[in-house]
Chains A and B, each alone.
Chain A
Amino acid sequence: MTKTMKILRPAVMCFLAMTVVCGIIYTAAVTGIAQLLFPNQANGSIITITLKDGTQKDYGSALIAQKFTGAQYMIGRPMGTTNLSPVSKEQKKLVQERIDWLHSLDPDNTADIPMDLVTKSGSGVDPNITPEAAEYQVARIARERGMNEDDVRAIISKYTTGRFLGIFGEPAVNVLKVNLALDGLL
């Protein structure tokens, strides 16, 4: 019995000490400093907009996609995840449905569709599309809103982020921010 206790006692005490240090103190310290230094990011990068009547409205998170279906809006990637094999028949059928839907939204546009607009992301809520996918939609958005195409492009480029140091990752256009700007809210 005493032999067992000699092993077990430090195990339990060590576990409790580690729980306090790594679970409580560490987590609390990171939370405290994060809230102090980066309050917006730490709380979900919420886009809060002050409306004309002075009220504030939370329009979403800059990092979480919303579904857009209207032709006057920039369309993002299909929402949700599939986990399907990219070369499967099921996937081919789903992609065809998405192609058909995009064509029905803008029958005049016969250009090839960028891949990201017809495939689902890993998170299911990818807030971005590629600059090519944004450019694909410029003419339609401008026409629907009676805007100049270059004005649409200016908004897109304002909410496009590049590679980190020009090397890491890929350029991306934030769909929600573009649409908020198109609606004159951002």
Chain B
Amino acid sequence: MSMIVLQDIIYILLLIGLSIPLGIYIYKVMSGEKVFLTRIFAPVENGIYKIMGVKSNEEMGAKKYALSALAFSGVGLFFVWLLQLLQGILPFNPARIQSASWHLAFNTAASFVSNTNWQAYSGENGLSCLTQFLGLTVQNFVSAATGIAVLFALIRGFVFRKKTTIGNFWTDLTKITLYVLIPISFVLALVLVSQGVVQTFSPYKEVTMLESGAAQTIPLGPAASQIAIKQLGTNGGGFFGANSAFPLENATPLSNLLECLSLLLIPCALCVSFGKAVKDSKQGKSIYITMMILFVVALGITTISEQYTGPAFDGVVASGSMEGKEVIHGVGASSLWATATTAASNGSVNSMHDSFTPLGGMIPMFLMQLGEIVFGGVGSGLYGMLAFVLLTVFIAGLMVGRTPEYLGKKVEPYDMKMVCLIILTPLMFTLLGTAAAVSMPDITSWLTNSGAHGFSEILYAFSSMGNNNGSAFAGFTANTVFTNVVGGIIMLLVRFIPMVAAISLAGNMAKKKSVAVSEGTLSTTNTMFVGLLIGVILIVGALSFLPALALGPIADYFTMR
């Protein structure tokens, strides 16, 4: 256990240490300052603007910004859907994979466009190489970039005074992709290959097994390039079915460390960028601290549960629960990943969450249900958290009878409506989806486990899709018409309703004049505020999900022995 604690502490220190310079770098990129990559990428950037026919300095209002984001995602949705329907007759298909069914293709397209990466298909058996790199890898980049773009639109809303615009979606998207996502992914992908993560267009390799002499097929593909952005962009969709538990996707303790760091790196860095952008680093710091506190508590509970509440078998050495975990990761690195991947809306896994102990599996589920705001998705996590900040400011304002304000902007009824849309949409669809699924007549045949754990499989699935996470209790049979269609629609709604609400909020905030800070202004940077914010987040999450959790993991825990 002491090794696990040490590993966790050093992981967190590395994460914080890397996030600060990266956050400053992202701020510079987004505010148009020159960075060391400007020389290389500026011509490409300008070329892309030319192709698009947009002027990089043209500012957009909220409506145009939102429509652009929606149109761009819509084009992506259609393309990825079509690509899967046609993959059987298209090139770069060494494993001769068939075209996908319409509903599975829709689910997968919705999943990757919404930065969820829920996978109802099985990685290496469901999609051709072409679909993976031309469809999914691209969405891994651009869905992440879309989230970050919207975050910066919202930040501009707080910063701008009496303006009708909030930036330009196309330049935001292009800058993030070119200057942030591609360079880091490129370096990460190559380091991963050095560890044994595959990167090739060769067909699957046939080998002869040592003892039996029988043939074994080693699945290959351009995996590392996709895995790098899958981790960095809080996407999470594995190249292979077993995701980063699969050794050819995550080969060594070093590759695991790097993949696990890149899970949270950009969401952490964005807290720093936020502080820089609003010219008050303390604002970013208080949000960063809030997220980190929730993360550390969650990590502690998951790890302790996996280490100490696992099963005991006669004649077997008592140790942490190892079902569904790889030897090189053990309980420590598996629990760390499970917590990080659900705190961020990543959803990649290096162990099977379905085989976690009841409470060890509940924490990842609850982190998703909180709305993916403990770091959360790149961009979307922070704009979700800012909605909670506004809610907290609003509640505190009601208590003292003052008009609430945040960053010098008054928070008014329209703003609170948008905040409610951001906060309530995911949790509503999570519960509705779960309820619809349990009322399906043949639901039990979709489950691997029975009883309370079976219900947990359903609740986890819709918590995952309903919050754009993408991880699964993989015993749940996801590839059914019902889950594909309903889940696909839910993933789109919970991604784009809050996104449009955040952009509208930005537009409304940008129009306002700034009010001077007075003695009566609630500080949003002190310890008390962090405590209030944590309280509001936990109350909203607990009120919404405690009944469902009681029927799933909590019942599972109390009935286990």
Checking B142, B208, B474 against A18 with a beta-carbon cut-off of 8 angstroms, the contacting residue is B142
Q: Which of A25-56 contact B (CB under 8 A)?
A: 26-27, 29-31, 33-35, 37-38, 41-46
Checking B245, B327, B556 against A130 with a beta-carbon cut-off of 8 angstroms, the contacting residue is B327
Q: Which of B324-375 contact A (CB under 8 A)?
A: 324-330, 332-334, 349-352, 354-358
**Does B194 lie within 8 Å of A37, measured CB to CB?**
yes
Given contacts A8-B71, A15-B76, A130-B327, is CB(A63)–CB(B316) below 8 Å? no
- The interface residues of chain A lying within 8 Å CB-to-CB of B211 are 66-70, 73, 179
A: residues with CB less than 8 A from B are 7-19, 21-24, 26-27, 29-31, 33-35, 37-38, 41-46, 57-64, 66-70, 73, 77, 81-88, 90-92, 95-96, 99, 103, 112-116, 118-130, 132, 161, 163-164, 167-170, 172, 176, 179-180, 183, 185
Checking B67, B212, B322 against A7 with a beta-carbon cut-off of 8 angstroms, the contacting residue is B67
Checking B197, B245, B322, B561 against A115 with a beta-carbon cut-off of 8 angstroms, the contacting residue is B322
**Does B52 lie within 8 Å of A23, measured CB to CB?**
no
Cβ proximity bits B6-20 to A, threshold 8 Å, 1 near / 0 not: 110011000000000
Given contacts A30-B189, A63-B248, is CB(A10)–CB(B138) below 8 Å? no
**Does A26 lie within 8 Å of B137, measured CB to CB?**
yes
CB distance from B132 to the nearest CB of A (A): 9
| Closest B residue to A30 using CB positions | B225
B: residues with CB less than 8 A from A are 3, 6-7, 10-11, 44, 48, 51-54, 64, 67-68, 71-72, 74-76, 79, 133-135, 137-138, 140-142, 170, 173-174, 177-178, 182, 185-186, 189-190, 193-202, 205-212, 216, 218, 220, 222, 224-226, 228-229, 242, 245-248, 251-254, 256-257, 310-311, 313-317, 319-330, 332-334, 349-352, 354-358, 448-450, 453, 473-475, 556, 560-561
- Tell me the bound Cα distance from A176 to B48 in angstroms: 49
> Could you show 5 A-B contacts with beta carbons less than 8 Å apart?
A13-B51, A14-B170, A15-B79, A58-B206, A170-B333
- The interface residues of chain B lying within 8 Å CB-to-CB of A41 are 193-198, 251
- Of A37, A42, A95, A163, chain B has the most CB atoms within 10 Å of the CB of A42
CB distance from B252 to the nearest CB of A (A): 7
| Closest A residue to B561 using CB positions | A87
CB distance from A74 to the nearest CB of B (A): 11
**Does A83 lie within 8 Å of B325, measured CB to CB?**
no
| Closest A residue to B354 using CB positions | A83
| Closest B residue to A81 using CB positions | B352
Given contacts A59-B207, A82-B355, is CB(A7)–CB(B64) below 8 Å? yes
**Does B68 lie within 8 Å of A11, measured CB to CB?**
yes
Checking B75, B135, B196, B200 against A11 with a beta-carbon cut-off of 8 angstroms, the contacting residue is B75
Given contacts A58-B207, A125-B246, is CB(A31)–CB(B225) below 8 Å? yes
CB distance from B561 to the nearest CB of A (A): 7
- The interface residues of chain B lying within 8 Å CB-to-CB of A170 are 253, 327-330, 332-333
- Tell me the bound Cα distance from A82 to B72 in angstroms: 40
CB distance from B46 to the nearest CB of A (A): 12
CB distance from A129 to the nearest CB of B (A): 6
**Does B141 lie within 8 Å of A42, measured CB to CB?**
no
- Tell me the bound Cα distance from A69 to B211 in angstroms: 8
**Does A11 lie within 8 Å of B254, measured CB to CB?**
no
